[in-house]
Amino acid sequence: MLKHYTARTARAAVAMALGGVALLTGCDQIDTRIDRAREIADASVDQISGETVIDQTYVNLERAAPADRALAGTVMAEFVIAEEDRPMFAVGSIIAKPLNIPATETLELSEDTAMMEEELDYFDSPEGAEMMAEEEMMRAAPAPPPSVVEVPGGAGDIVAEPAQALPKIRLDPNSAFESRQEIANASRQMEQVAISDDAQRVQMRRLTKEDLQAMAPEERVEVRKLARRAPVERAVVRKQIDANTVMLDAMTKYGVGGEVALSRQGQMIIQIGPDGANPTQFTGSSNPSEFLARSEAAVCPENPDAELIRQDLAVATACIVKDLRASGQFEYVEQDFIFQNQFARKPKDQPSGTPGETKAGSTGSPGVQPVKSAPNDPLWALQWHFRDKGTADGRTAGGAGFESFWTRQGITGSDGIVVAVVDTGLQMSHPDIAGSPNIMPGYDMVSDPRMGNDGDGRDTDPNDPGDMCDPTKPNAADSFHGTHVAGTIGAAATNNSAGVAGGAWDVRIVPVRALGKCGGRLSDINDAIRWAAGLVPAEVSDENNVWTEVWNENPADIINLSIGLLGACPASLQDAIDSVTAEGVIVVSAAGNARMSTSLYAPAGCRNVVTVAASDARGQIAPYSNFGPEVMVLAPGGDLTRDDNGDGKPDGVLSTKAATNCYDPVTGEGVENCFYAYEQGTSMAAPHVSAALALLKARDPSASREEIISTLRESLDPRENLQCAGLCSRYPGTTPIEGSPDMCARPCGQGLLNMANVPLKATGGGSR
């Protein structure tokens, strides 16, 4: 239902367009930004003056309260690799894994092939479908506290109660005897945990289809959740214990102490230093130069002098890494690299706005709910990236087709699908997030309080307190990156007459904070990925400093990684990704924003990830986006220097994020604080694909990881070379396009995300 706009509305449109002037003036790289903004304003007035028929969605924008539609009024863009992008690592932190660690055995609830086939037949029946629906309803409900599951058929009780955390081993080069005692004590503790895990797995292997049918829905959910958890296996214990002796020798050589954290899957985190402290105990200066170092600036000399090395912990870290590698006892040993978010701008160019709080997911009824119209969120009018592709009113050449998917499929998501966002956390007090049923309990995996910026190390609070690294830099500000990313996926409450819409209205978001002040440690990211998938526990301490396990009660189907490291994929990160994809989890990665090959970026260049490059509102690759054969999908990431859809706003991706220096997009008047902002980057492209995968999983809950990814691939719009072209001078090593010698083609995926291409299921589909 379209309407003619009145003169009053035309005046409001002028104000909207002039608001675009304020936005575009921040784009330092555009010499004619003011003139361009005036052109945008004039074009908008021509569009909206009394004769023109306007998209109905603007009506919701005009009717909304200013607090529900105000936007950040400053956006900045930079497409240059800055000094701080070069690889850094956490001083004194090392990640290692002993050789020949056996792969964790996947636990099948039934080992009889015929019985498994019978189970599949049962789940295809109406009775089985009803049972699965009950399970998903239970999964969506608040998780009960861990408990003992009563298993029928004499299988015994399967205990899911919190267990004591795995031991940490302190190694003191000045007291070798005590250190070896520590190793022996840790071995005994690990053996006890392994015995307990073995007993539980034996009980679970006895379960039959009849046992599962006899359980209450919440018991079935609990059993399947337990089946995914990685056990402590004796062979893994022995390998890690033996490795500690090698580590003690290396530390003794340089006279530094340390603490070693063991894990269920063999990965070990070694913290070295004068006191050998665990990072959760680090105190003192919060100056990044004192706990972060450039990789190229810390190289172990050929003939190291122990006394000199002891005075430079960064060089000591490099020397111990070198010695452990030379020992031949490890599958990998590497520095604890620092990852950054993938906004296409740098801290010095960030808006001067301040934090907002995290947002909430949509509220939606279970089952297939036909969508009769676009969401009523007022800022939906400006979310070109979710629109259908095309040039007609209400469409955008670079849109991702979510609108057609919602209406044709009758699916806006499912509360049984979980997407974990490993990022900076969420602004939990954000008005579009607070109290949302879409937000599940998460975890703060940032181990070093100096990077955590919240006064402690790891804990159960994933709220984002900010990540500003150097407040002395001009225009430095907190990014609140995770809130923006999660909002695009579906953390924002969609169809609630306020703010923005998300790609999946009904989805469960698990926020896992792994990036803090100045970025995020590789070791924290590895643990965050495994915890998000439900494979390993996190830890929490009580008032007596007794540490117990904290498991993710909502294991992820999809994990979004809008993060990046300038460098090849670290071995430990690949290990973490492989461990979760083996359990059927889909990992989505931003390609990176350095205009270079994804093979030089991680996790974009890692195996077993869905790597996403960024496109603009024309459907062309954004100028900042990385590219390469590793890219699978080109999805909307935005370009703040353009307005190709002619809405009077820069073509960024609009999502949740609290800010200051805002304005009302209808009246153009200034607003002190707001909760929505435009951003650009492959960080914005990746969550579009995560939301798309969540919708596909909702469409076909029984589909495997490979089948879901295949459906995504098959629905992509084919692309032409020109859609991924750029000046050859700006992209060395790319291939000139025939007939255009100055233009080069960049590999940027198999096609463009277009959810409108997803075929209807033969059975009619459904969100369950």
Please indicate whether residue 740 is annotated as part of the active site.
no
- Whether 570 shows a pLDDT value over 60: the answer reads yes
Q: Helix 522-532 vs helix 571-581: angle between axes, to the nearest 10 degrees? A: 0
114: exposed, middle or buried (Cβ count in 10 Å: 0-12, 13-18, 19+): exposed
Highest mean pLDDT among 272-281, 705-714, 758-767: 705-714
> Which one, of 193, 196, 194, lies nearest residue 156 by Cα?
196
Q: Which residue in 68, 172, 197, 423 is the catalytic one?
A: 423
Q: How confident is the model at residue 133 (pLDDT cuts 50, 70, 90)?
A: low
Average pLDDT over residues 446-474: 87
At 57, give phi and psi (nearest 5°).
Answer: -60, -25
pLDDT of 529 > 90? The answer is: yes
User: Are 441 and 554 within 8 A, CB to CB?
Assistant: yes
Give strand pairing partners of 420: 510, 559
pLDDT digits (tens, 9 = 90+) for 591-611: 999 888 898 899 999 999 999
Q: Tell me how many degrees the CA angle 7-11-13 measures, rounded to the nearest 5.
A: 110
**pLDDT value of position 218:** 74
423 catalytic residue (yes or no): yes
The percentage of residues in the chain with a pLDDT greater than 90, rounded to a whole number, is: 37
- Of 234-238, 256-260, 324-328, which has the strongest mean pLDDT? 324-328
Instruction: Using pLDDT thresholds of 50, 70 and 90, give the confidence band for residue 613.
Output: very high
Ordered structural domains, the chain, with CATH: 347-359+375-717+752-757 (3.40.50.200)
> Could you give the CA distance from residue 746 to residue 753 in angstroms, rounded to a whole number?
17
Structure tokens at 183: 């190793």
In DSSP terms, which residues pair with 577 in a beta bridge?
none
Nearest to 682 by CA among 572, 546, 588, 585: 588
Q: What is the pLDDT of residues 66-88, one digit of tens each?
A: 777 777 866 654 444 454 567 88
Q: Decide the pairing of beta strands 631-636 and 610-615.
A: parallel
Collapse the DSSP code of 381 into the 3-class scheme (helix H, G, I; strand E, B; otherwise coil) and give the result: helix
Question: Residue 556's Cα: distance from chain center in Å?
Answer: 11
- Which residue's structure tokens are 């694909």? 689
**What does the pLDDT read at residue 23?**
41
Number of Cβ atoms within 10 Å of the Cβ of 762: 6
pLDDT digits (tens, 9 = 90+) for 30-45: 333 334 333 433 433 3
Name the catalytic one among 683, 690, 715, 767.
683
- Determine which one of 385, 481, 484, 688 is catalytic: 481
- Please answer whether residues 501 and 375 qualify as being in contact, where contact means their C-beta atoms are separated by less than 8 angstroms: yes
The confidence score (pLDDT) of residue 498 equals: 86
For the question of residue 729 being annotated catalytic, the response is no
- What is d(CA 636, CA 400) in angstroms, rounded to the nearest whole number? 7
| Token pair listed for 712 | 């995504």
Answer for the pair 163, 146: CB distance below 8 angstroms, yes or no: no
Instruction: Please provide residue 566's backbone torsions phi and psi, each rounded to the nearest 5 degrees.
Output: -75, 95
695 or 231, greater pLDDT? 695
**pTM for this one?**
0.83
Given a cut of 70, whether residue 11 has pLDDT beyond it is no
What is the Cα–Cα distance from 575 to 582, expressed in whole angstroms?
Answer: 11
Using CA atoms of 184, 189, 192, 197 in order, give the dihedral in degrees to the nearest 10: -120
- 684 in Cβ contact with 596 (< 8 Å): no
Instruction: Classify 18 as helix, strand or coil.
Output: helix
Tokens of 216: 């209450």
Q: How far is CA 702 from CA 136, 479, 608, 696, 706, in A?
A: 12, 37, 20, 11, 12
